[in-house]
Amino acid sequence: MIKFDDDKLDQTESLLSALKLRANDNSKGLLMKGNHTLIASAGLREDLLGEWADDDLKRKTIEKISHLIDDFS
C-alpha cells in the first residue's frame, strides 16, 4: 500500500491494520512524497495543460509506482 506524506485524506494505516488481521497476510506499506492527487490526475494535467504541468517529482513518483506494480509478484 502506498501512503503519501502530505495526504490529509489518507486511510492507509486503518486499511493496513485490517489487512494484517488476515491469516498469512504479507501486506506492506510504502511512504512516498506528495499526496493522492499526484497520481490521481496523472496524464490529465499534461493532456489539458501541457508538459509544464507535471514536474520531476510527479513524473518520478508515477514511474516508481509503475515499476513497483510491474515487479509485484
Domain limits for position 40: 2-71
E-only strand ranges, the chain: 2-4, 30-32
- Please report, for residues 39, 59, 71, the alpha-carbon distance to residue 34 in angstroms, rounded to integers and kept in the order given: 9, 12, 22
Q: Which conformational region is residue 52 in: left (phi greater than 0), alpha (psi within -120 to 50 degrees), or beta?
A: alpha
> Considering only CA atoms, which of 35, 32, 31 is closest in space to residue 7?
35
Report pLDDT digits (tens) over 12-40. Answer: 889 999 999 999 999 988 898 888 877 76
Domain count, the chain: 1
pLDDT number for residue 53: 64
pTM: 0.62
> Considering only CA atoms, which of 14, 35, 64 is closest in space to residue 72?
64
